[in-house]
Chains A and B, each alone.
Chain A
């Protein structure tokens, strides 16, 4: 308990306000940012995946295959070394990790979106078409609302995964929960079990909350 007393603030916000924000706050910020950016990207990529235009479909299909065939760790390294050479200036660790997570999860979400869209019965397309609705209206008003509802369980799965993936920020020195935990462990030395236990519990609680939230959303949608 002495552990909690001494390090709770460091665990929650890192060196903030005397240094960069870190800890749990950073993990949540990174996770939320990644979800908020990856979701629209995923929908756009998913739409491209089912597009009739091969100029949209092919590059996105390639991206999805590349990302799916690469460990996230490689994407993180890539973002870390490649982004600076692309932009000409040093990219912060947070931006690097965010970029990696958004691209990685955008591609995975694209596949969920694609499956969701293709899971909507053909008759829905046909009746929308026979009413003279244009492609965009059909997608927005008829297909996507039904597709998103069907996708919800897979989406939550991906969101939870994304949140846990923020821990890979450790590898590029981003002071999120895992990094802070190892820092604390380095100082305390004698209580790794408790320290990493608390870190694990923290992840669990966030993911559990996310799951519960989505279940209640699902229940409301099905009501």
Chain B
């Protein structure tokens, strides 16, 4: 469904993505991890063209996402994206955050969009916050609204860019549980995260990145119990709590 072919990306001299080749199948849940600056956020942001690439190709359902004539706005509407910093629209109520895109893209009438938004908010456990403004919510609640907002366009693919990294520890699980439910419903997902317990349970496949390269690809059990690449072994040892 998503295919990287020889993708390169530079930030000045930094080689952020170094000849990345990877295929993500429909319905697959892929968790990307790696040290900071390894290129994992860049990787996920190239999939919906938030980040341009310098060479190579990215295909979505066989179509080059950088091809001429591709309507980038329409293309992006087919991919849900959840940001580390939530990025809710602060001047709009929760419900309006969730209805803005479906209404403006002509997908739903205002009444339909409203019903759908309430249903989605119900799903993320926030139906009672529909009339609140984002600043009145906790971080975990904001992130769940952001997920509902992304789901409002019924995208076949969801991308999560460190969805729990900006949260206080006690709010991490409420967000992860929502994402897990989505994964179990067969959504194609790519998730950048350091939540290894979550990854072990939810991921079909793990990708480990460092210096812009995918160094290891493995099923979670193999990845955590028998990491092959020395860099992966070191990373997994480093993130393990020294007090456990």
Which chain A positions have C-beta within 8 A of B50? 126, 129-130
Among listed B2-10, B83-91, B209-217, interface-contacting one: B83-91
Indicate which residue in B85, B88, B91, B101 contacts A132 across the interface (CB closer than 8 Å): B101
B190 to chain A, nearest CB (A): 14
Assess whether A133 is in contact with B83, with CB atoms less than 8 Å apart.
Answer: no
Interface check B81, CB cutoff 8 A: yes
Indicate which residue in B73, B88, B100, B150 contacts A141 across the interface (CB closer than 8 Å): B100
With an 8 Å Cβ cutoff, the count of chain B residues facing the other chain is 26
Assess whether A131 is in contact with B100, with CB atoms less than 8 Å apart.
Answer: yes
Assess whether B89 is in contact with A133, with CB atoms less than 8 Å apart.
Answer: no
Interface check B175, CB cutoff 8 A: no
On whether A131 and B87 interact (CB within 8 A), knowing A126-B50, A137-B104, the answer reads no
Indicate which residue in B81, B88, B91, B105 contacts A130 across the interface (CB closer than 8 Å): B81
**A124, A126, A131, A134: which has the most chain B beta carbons within 10 Å?**
A131
Assess whether A132 is in contact with B81, with CB atoms less than 8 Å apart.
Answer: no
Residues 172-197 of chain B: 1 if any A CB is under 8 Å from the residue's CB, otherwise 0? 00000000000000000000000000
Assess whether B87 is in contact with A142, with CB atoms less than 8 Å apart.
Answer: no
Interface check B74, CB cutoff 8 A: yes
User: Given the complex of chains A and B, what is the CA–CA distance between A132 and B81 in angstroms?
Assistant: 11
Assess whether B74 is in contact with A131, with CB atoms less than 8 Å apart.
Answer: no
**A:176-200 near B, CB below 8 Å:** none
Assess whether A141 is in contact with B104, with CB atoms less than 8 Å apart.
Answer: yes
Assess whether B79 is in contact with A130, with CB atoms less than 8 Å apart.
Answer: yes
With an 8 Å Cβ cutoff, the count of chain A residues facing the other chain is 18
Interface check B15, CB cutoff 8 A: no
B187 to chain A, nearest CB (A): 16
Indicate which residue in A123, A133, A137, A141 contacts B87 across the interface (CB closer than 8 Å): A123
Assess whether B89 is in contact with A132, with CB atoms less than 8 Å apart.
Answer: no
Assess whether B83 is in contact with A123, with CB atoms less than 8 Å apart.
Answer: yes
Which chain A positions have C-beta within 8 A of B101? 131-133
If A130-B79, A132-B105 are given as contacts, then 4 extra A-B residue pairs at C-beta distance below 8 Å, sorted by A number, are A127-B87, A132-B153, A134-B73, A137-B104
Interface residues of B (CB under 8 A from A): 48, 50, 73-81, 83, 85, 87-91, 100-101, 104-105, 146, 149-150, 153
